[in-house]
A and B are shown apart, each in its own frame.
Chain A
Amino acid sequence: MKKLIEHFSDYPMVENDQHNYTRYRMGRLKHQLWLHNRKRDEIILDTHDKFILDNLKPGNTCVFGSAGYYFEEVIPNLTVIEQWPIVKKFYPKAQIIEDRCEIAETNGRMFDNFVVVNNRGDIWTELSVVEKHIANYVQSMKPGCLFFYSFRDTQIVNWNRLKVNHKEYFHNFGLHIEKTYNLNLLWHDIRFATKQKDGAGNYDIWENPDTTNGNIKFVFEYKSKTKNIN
């Protein structure tokens, strides 16, 4: 009989490139876009990607933990930073870090845009820890830097979904970040599934909107409030 397992850390995982690539891909959905686009004459982007592109400031852009190399052909002066060494194997230009504090240590305060799209490494934790991640990102932002941040509510941990108003909970988080880090909240889009019975009396089984980019989306501007988000 096989031994029983309950938690990732109960036993050591296989350690090889194939395994690390699979785990990385499972958590970085936009990697699929890169695989698709690099072999074709046409680039596919989704509407959230276009929203980001349409609103970026001129200058240096960092995409962290979001398979950001899929933006390479459309964003000039792009820095892609990841925490998985396997990324170097297929995208050698990526910066690989262990701790988020290395982003500013390595790059200084150089970014005019900082983008995090549904980074699996940022979530699966409490909002208080997400806040600590953001505190690290801020250290690499120039004044005026735009900060695009999105994630999924279903992968935020340790809150009571049956007692806490979801919309207030995440909006208040954005307001807290604004107040605490001099990040002016320019725009937000917080959406949850709307469930109605179909003609047969059944509900759909779909998730919250935009599981790829995250259904909780914010745009902040560091130390200023000059940008109109379209």
Chain B
Amino acid sequence: MDPTSKKIKIVKPFALYKWAKNFKRIQDRFYGNQYKLRRIQQIEDFITLNNFNKVHHIEEVRIDLELSPKIFTNNISDTDLILVTHQGYSRYPCIGIIEQIQEWLKSCPKLYICLNRHYLNIDNSNLDMDLPDDFQKAITSWLQKSLKDCVVMDLSRNYVDYGQHFTWSLPDRHYYIVKK
């Protein structure tokens, strides 16, 4: 085709996609909605087996937990577990993630947080040469060093993520953090 005579309008790069909140549901359809993400089952089991009855869930992508709606509360001050699957917090600078975790722990001493490894240290502001070379171990070590007044338990599986682990449906690094 010959170059156009149409008017050309130049705009700043903008987000061309609008499916963020439904991302998991779209990926579920890749498999005809027949399967369940293991990490979602892990969260449900964690909540059920530990008898958490008042869960404050902070989410972005809808992960469709199959738990009784009765256990969820909007009141962050009256909860026995804060569950964070919203990957926006992984896009905070490292110091901001730590500050936010400490803030949540003021409301509730038990936190289950899912972090997207690919976003961490998004602004290149937090380099620590003393951390392990293995990125996954380094994430755990960074959290433990930064939250000395907490017990940080790594509940993640270790693997190299080549973009085929549904990380944008549900972030991959799972931590249970309890204030000492």
The CA of A229 and the CA of B94, in the complex, are separated in Å by 36
**Minimum C-beta distance from A157 to chain B (A):** 6
The CA of A44 and the CA of B94, in the complex, are separated in Å by 36
Residues of B within 8 A of A50 (CB): 10
Kindly identify which residue among B37, B88, B124, B126 contacts A6, using a CB–CB cutoff of 8 Å. Answer: B37
Known contacts A29-B17, A207-B122: does B135 contact A159 (CB below 8 Å)? yes
**Inter-chain contact B9/A45, CB cutoff 8 Å:** yes
Known contacts A5-B38, A9-B164, A195-B93: does B6 contact A42 (CB below 8 Å)? yes
**Inter-chain contact A3/B10, CB cutoff 8 Å:** no
Q: Is A41 at the interface (CB under 8 A from chain B)?
A: yes
**Minimum C-beta distance from B22 to chain A (A):** 11
Kindly identify which residue among A2, A32, A74 contacts B36, using a CB–CB cutoff of 8 Å. Answer: A2
Q: Is A227 at the interface (CB under 8 A from chain B)?
A: no
The CA of A6 and the CA of B8, in the complex, are separated in Å by 44
**Inter-chain contact A212/B16, CB cutoff 8 Å:** yes
**Minimum C-beta distance from A9 to chain B (A):** 7
Q: Is A124 at the interface (CB under 8 A from chain B)?
A: yes
**Inter-chain contact B123/A193, CB cutoff 8 Å:** yes
Q: Is B3 at the interface (CB under 8 A from chain A)?
A: yes
**Inter-chain contact A205/B88, CB cutoff 8 Å:** yes
> Smallest CB-CB separation from B4: which chain A residue?
A73
Residues of B within 8 A of A97 (CB): none
Q: Is B163 at the interface (CB under 8 A from chain A)?
A: yes
Residues of A within 8 A of B91 (CB): 193, 205-207
The CA of A42 and the CA of B16, in the complex, are separated in Å by 17
The CA of A22 and the CA of B3, in the complex, are separated in Å by 29
Q: Is B1 at the interface (CB under 8 A from chain A)?
A: yes
The CA of A127 and the CA of B40, in the complex, are separated in Å by 31
The CA of A70 and the CA of B125, in the complex, are separated in Å by 36
Q: Is A163 at the interface (CB under 8 A from chain B)?
A: yes
**Minimum C-beta distance from A229 to chain B (A):** 18
> Smallest CB-CB separation from A194: which chain B residue?
B123
A-B contact pairs, 8 of them (CB 8 A): A4-B36, A6-B38, A8-B165, A22-B26, A22-B29, A45-B11, A73-B6, A161-B120
